[in-house]
Structure formats: C-alpha cells, structure tokens
Chain A
C-alpha cells in the first residue's frame, strides 16, 4: 500500500513538473508595414526594449513581423499576443462618417469588428495592450452607427488600447513609441510604469503627438513588472 502511495505521489510530482516545463512565455507581436521608412526602426527598437522583459514570473518573447496580411494578423497574431503593436497606415471610411481601420501592407482594412477574442492569449489571461501606431487609429466614436477600433479591442477583452485620433507622422510616431516602451518597461528609470504614466511622459517628450495619442481602457495596467534594479 505504502509503495503504491509513494509511487503515485512520485508520478504526480513528475506530471506536475512536466506541466511546469511546458508553461508558456508571453508573446509580444510587433507588426510593421515596410512602406513606412521608420516603421521597421520602430519595430526593432521595441524588440530591443521588450525582449526578455518580465511580466510576473514569465518573460516576453517579441516577434517582429513584417508586412503580414489581414488573415494572418486576425488568425495567428491577435489571439495570441499579450501585447500587440502595429506600425502601419490607418484611416477612416467615408470622410469620417464610417469606421476607422488599420491598413495592411496589401491595403486590406482591419476594422474593430474584425478583432477576434483576446481574452485568453498565449500564456493565459487577456491581452494587456494593443497599440495601433497609425493615423486615426485612436479616433473615438462620434456617430451612433460607428464601431471604432478601440471598441473592437476592448469589447473582445483587451485591457487597454492606444492609437492616434488624428493623422500622425512616421517620424513622430516612431519617437513616441520608443519613449513609451522605454518608460513603460523601466529601462529609462529603473522602475516600470503603468501605461497611463508612460504615455504621459512620452507625450511630453514628443509634443507633436500630445492630445493626438489616445488611451482607452484601464490606464493603470503595466506591461512589465517584476524586474530587479540592475545597477
């Protein structure tokens, strides 16, 4: 009897160990459209900042993704990413009367209604932040029939969404994104910041995007925490 119990516990322990081995890391997907001169620099700069950053007991794996089509983004990127970033063109239909969208490299439009379920991403839990670094990606709903990108992301489970309510320059968007992740990750100060605080700092340092960059959802969430002070 004792032998059986001991063996059962051994087996259980080994199974639990095996489960812990297959635990997942977090994925951060960084998309860019190669038609924009600084979008690739933005993606690689974010890669450098965010790779191996911790979120609780797990770490980020950052995927830099060039010129993905709409189907790949919707099926293979959005449902998996804990943090999702896209540096691309964006716009709004019918001179502001329609819905806003993100444009892929192949001129396909991704609308709020295209966003899949984001409540159980790779590694578990909901997507923390989607940041659409594109023109008009952060426009708010004005007409009753509109369904904007931020609504799509928040309705599908993302905790926060960032985008520009108006047009934004490639150079300015690159500068802002860089500062934002630098402060949010803690690389700038040694302490990671909530996305609301990091946005507040970054828009002071890149004033041309001030009042243009919009944050929807919970501003107190953090995309990085749990690191130790290295100096």
Chain B
C-alpha cells in the first residue's frame, strides 16, 4: 500500500518544515547566544610560547628514530612505536621531540628529547602509582635517584646537595598518589644557576624511579665577577620598581646567581637571553591597595634590569 500525498498535503509538509526550521534557527539564537555582556576578543596574532611543528616539514638534527633510541637506552618503555610531535619552545629556544607511549588511549610514558642534541630532557612514567610509602630512610630515596643520575652520565660536582621532597600527587584520599622528588640545583663556581636543575621522581611503594627532568644550562662563558655592587643593584631595582608604579617597602632577599634573563618586565613572553651574572632581589611592594612581592633581576655586569617576577 503506497501513500501518495496530494499537492495540498505536500505543501503543508513544506510549510511545516519551514516553520520548524525557523523555530530551530530562532531557538539556536536564543539558547546558543551568550547571555553574558562580553564578546570574544580577536586573538589572531598571538604567538604560542610552545608551538607544535609539523613533523613532515621540519628538519631536525636528531631524527625520530634516533630520539626514540635515546629514550630506550635509558628507560624501559613499552615495545610499541610512540606517537611523536615536534615542539618548539620559543622561550627557552629549544626544539624537542615529544614522544608518548600509550595503552588503551592513556599515555603511560611520555618523554622530551632535544631535537638538536639528542639529550633526553624529560621522562614521566605513569605505569606505577604509589598507594603506600615503603621508604624508611631519606638516604634510600637519594640512592635511588643517584642511580638515574649515573645512567644519565651526570656528574654531581656541578650540582648542589640534593633536596628531597615528599608530596601527594593530588589532595584526594580516594586517589592516593605519593611521590618523592630528589632535586639538585646546578652550580657554577659556587653560584646557583637559575633554571638549571636535575630532578628524579621516585615511587615510594615500589622504590623505583618514575621520571626525571634534566635542565642544565651551558654557563661556561659567564664571568662570575660582578661589576656593580649589591647596594648599587638594590638602588637600580628600587628605582625601576617605582618607575613601574610599585612602591618598594623592603628588600627581603638579595643573591648573586647565574641565569638567563627572562625579560619579565617587558610584559610579554620573549626568548630568554644568554646566561649572565645576575643580582636576584626580592622586594615587598605596594601597588594601590595591594601588597605583594616582586623579584627583580639586575645584570651584575651592565646594571640593567633584565628580568624578574611579580607574585600573584
């Protein structure tokens, strides 16, 4: 039995379709329009601090195969091929192979390999979560971390004393994840190197490392004799803060260190500068009704303000 609608019925259907479509459009406008008094701003010219580069059009000194091999040499990774992306860090000025081994759609091991040198900078292994803490002595944690250091070929004479930290991955009793972290700061001629560190993460239940980060800065060219004094540096920093509308209340800390200028006070992220000797100062400052802390980095050779930070 077939139904052949008359012309009238067909017209009714067409009209009904139009009515419903109109209702849908109006409804979409009502329900999907933003009831809040603002508009999406134009952000077309923004440059990301880390950009994903297309693997097919990007040439790197270390190819993907070599990068994977470098990780396999120092870490037990799953046997399957990892996913790979090339990430360009426009602040640190480095290009990485970002590798991830996944199981059932979940990343189980992820790593960053310097695409110019082949150095494995970072590994984090998610296969082992600690629900219990079997670490009896902090020395055991440091010993476990030192094994990783040895595997990476890093000599301790360029590093500070290790700092051990025990922390929970998240503040939720149902999803306990306890971690230990052993961190060494980089030193050069007795001075700390800002941004230079090695850290090893330990699972305290299984007593095994579950990750590491190596961020060492090449500081061999840095002259460690300051050309300006501590008092001069404080004066420069105070004048600078006043010029930016912050009222310095007191200096809370002053140290000489080596670091890459972050040009923080220029207001937008930039490629960090070459390592240099810095006076690193902390100030308590007032801005309007607010009191906060500002860090100022003054180049100890030129006397220029080259970086810092402002507490939130």
Residues of A within 8 A of B (CB): 2-3, 6-7, 10-11, 14-15, 17-18, 21-22, 24-25, 35-39, 41, 44-45, 47-49, 61-66, 68, 72, 76-77, 80, 87-90, 103, 107, 133-135, 140, 150, 164, 167-175, 178-179, 182-183, 187-191, 193-194, 196-197, 199-201, 204-205, 207, 210-211, 214-220, 229, 231
Contacts and interface: CB of A to CB of B under 8 A. Distances in A.
B50 A178 contact: yes
Contact of A107 (B40, B165, B262, B289): B289
Most chain A C-beta atoms within 10 Å of own C-beta, residue among B50, B167, B183:
B50
B264 interface: yes
Interface string B140-174: 00000000000000000000000001010111100
A25 B32 CA distance: 8
A131 to B, nearest CB: 13
B169 A14 contact: no
B197 interface: yes
A22 B175 contact: no
Contacts of B52: 187-188
Given A135-B311, A169-B310, A196-B175, A22 B24 contact: yes
B309 A171 contact: yes
Contacts of B310: 36-37, 169-171
B183 A207 contact: yes
B175 A218 contact: yes
Nearest to B201: A204
B85 interface: yes
A14 B23 CA distance: 11
B286 interface: no
26 contacts: A3-B5, A18-B23, A21-B24, A38-B268, A41-B269, A47-B46, A61-B40, A63-B40, A76-B35, A89-B290, A167-B293, A167-B311, A169-B309, A170-B310, A175-B49, A187-B52, A189-B99, A190-B83, A190-B84, A191-B83, A191-B102, A191-B106, A196-B175, A210-B199, A215-B171, A219-B170
A18 B311 contact: no
The 6 closest A-B pairs by CB, nearest first: A189-B100, A169-B309, A18-B24, A190-B83, A76-B36, A215-B170
A172 B85 CA distance: 24
Contacts of B48: 45, 48-49
A170 B21 CA distance: 49
Contacts of A72: 36-37
Interface string B4-23: 01000100110011001101
Contact of B87 (A11, A107, A188): A188
Contacts of B265: 37
B211 interface: yes
Interface of B: 1, 3, 5, 9, 12-13, 16-17, 20-21, 23-25, 27-28, 30-32, 34-38, 40-41, 43, 46, 48-50, 52, 54-56, 83-85, 87, 91, 98-100, 102, 105-107, 110, 122, 124, 126, 165, 167, 169-172, 175, 177, 179, 181, 183, 197, 199, 201, 211, 213, 262, 264-265, 267-269, 287-290, 292-293, 295, 308-312
Contacts of A174: 269
A134 B312 CA distance: 5
B54 A231 contact: yes
B213 A216 contact: no
A64 B289 contact: no
B285 to A, nearest CB: 12
B85 A189 contact: yes
Nearest to A169: B309
Given A22-B24, A200-B179, 4 more contacts: A24-B31, A45-B48, A63-B38, A72-B37
A215 B173 CA distance: 12
A201 B126 CA distance: 10
A10 B37 contact: no
Contacts of B197: 207
Contacts of A25: 32
Given A3-B5, A72-B36, A90-B312, A191 B107 contact: yes
Contact of A217 (B84, B172, B312): B172
A76 B175 contact: no
